Amino acid sequence: MEVLKAAGDREAAGHHVVHMEVGQPGAPAPRPVLAAARAALKDGRFRYTDALGIRALRERIAAHYGEAYGTEVAADRIAVTTGSSAGFNLAFLAAFDPGNRIALATPGYPAYRNLLGALGLEVVNIETSADSGYVMTPEMLVAAHERAPLAGVLIASPGNPTGTVMHPDALRTLVQTAERLGIRFISDEIYHGLVYAGIAETALKHARHAIVVNSFSKYYCMTGWRIGWMVLPEDLVRPIERIAQNLYISAPDISQRAAVAAFDATEELEAVKAGYAANRQLLLDKLPAIGFDDFFPVDGAFYVYASVRRFSNDSVDFTRRMLDEAGVAATPGPDFDRERGHAWMRFSFAGTGEDMAEAVARLGRWLG
């Protein structure tokens, strides 16, 4: 967000900036979603809904699991949330007690760590590497649990900032290990649908007691609508409902009505994804020649997590200079990995193809 603000300041001063700092789709919400919202506006009456969401949306989300994964999920286990951010808050509040230890893979999304810390939960960072395929392994989880008992583990596949996708067998064995050890498993699946290499499998295939968090923000291009969902084990449905009633009553009525139509926009959304895939290929082809030849596998999402060691030992300073001198905004690594992030940065390729080509050209001139 600080990089975005600095980029906005440069634009206000008359400079053109290529934005690669924020993980936000460049495309608008799909046409069926906009049409459903317009139809709802004709009614003009928007109210509180049930805390778990309107029945039509919960049923449509449940049907999605059968269509996309061949997995049966009851609508009664679905909770509609104000984006995935509310989902993580609800999961942490309902599933854990202050002082509990929660394992996270690093590098990873910084809001997990920040939210857990704010709630009095202890974050246990588990470093990944090329040897593990840049994912947490059962052996890593067991070792962390043996040092001191873990109450939970949170996994994202595809991941942010890396875009790494866990192989289905790797996910299955990790889920089963967590269940055997009595560790609550939370699966961040908000980048499902945006996979270019491999398969993004839902944790629900392997564990009925997993908590799954998803969102309409990424694949469905609905960031500002603030709408997401959770799939819950039966024992957490009522606690989540009670907490949600107190935190925000319900997700926005109009966003819920519109989101029902998102599942009817596959053709349009796949065209948007094809644009991301073209951007991804452009960066994979061009970045190594510029000097960014060390990066995590770009399996999914819309990020390249690249090393800056060839140019700097301080990615915060490097990204600041890159913005000031080349007009390209990207995110430095310390947010994602406090120990090793100084050597890394994240490029988002969610923008237009023209922007990606311009970014590569600017970086080539700047570093050449």
29 secondary structure, DSSP code: P
User: How many C-beta atoms lie closer than 10 Å to residue 19's C-beta?
Assistant: 20
E strand or H helix at 144, and its extent? helix 138-147
Roughly how many angstroms between the first and final C-alpha of the chain, as a whole number?
28
**Does 87 share its domain with 191?**
yes
Indicate which CATH number applies to the domain containing 101: 3.40.640.10
> 276-334 pLDDT, tens per residue?
999 999 999 999 999 999 998 899 999 999 999 999 999 999 999 999 999 999 999 99
Domain stops at, among 264, 293, 308: 264
* Partners of 94 in the β-ladder: none
**Does 175 share its domain with 312?**
no
**Does 228 share its domain with 103?**
yes
E strand or H helix at 307, and its extent? strand 303-307
User: How many C-beta atoms lie closer than 10 Å to residue 43's C-beta?
Assistant: 9
Q: How far is CA 241 from CA 91, 198, 287, 346, 350, in A?
A: 11, 35, 47, 36, 34
**Does 136 share its domain with 272?**
no
Residue 343: half-sphere exposure toward Cβ, Cα within 13 Å: 9
d(CA 27, CA 350): 9
**Does 217 share its domain with 105?**
yes
What average pLDDT does this structure show over 182-197? 97
- Tell me how many domains the chain contains: 2
d(CA 94, CA 108): 22
pLDDT of residue 43 exceeding 90: no
d(CA 305, CA 123): 22
57 secondary structure, DSSP code: H
Residue 3: what pLDDT? Answer: 86
> 134-155 pLDDT, tens per residue?
899 999 999 999 999 999 999 9
Residue 132: what pLDDT? Answer: 85
pLDDT of residue 1 exceeding 80: no
150 secondary structure, DSSP code: -
Q: How far is CA 221 from CA 42, 59, 96, in A?
A: 23, 21, 31
Residues in the chain: 368
Residue 86: what pLDDT? Answer: 96
**Domain span at 123:** 31-264
Q: Could you tell me the two tokens for 32? A: 């069926």
Which of 29, 347, 1 lies closest to 217 in space, CA to CA?
29
3-state secondary structure of 211: strand
Indicate which CATH number applies to the domain containing 277: 3.90.1150.10
Q: Could you tell me the two tokens for 54? A: 């309107």
Q: Could you tell me the two tokens for 195? A: 């996979």
Which of 301, 256, 235 lies closest to 81 in space, CA to CA?
256
Task: Please give the mean pLDDT across all residues of the chain.
Answer: 95
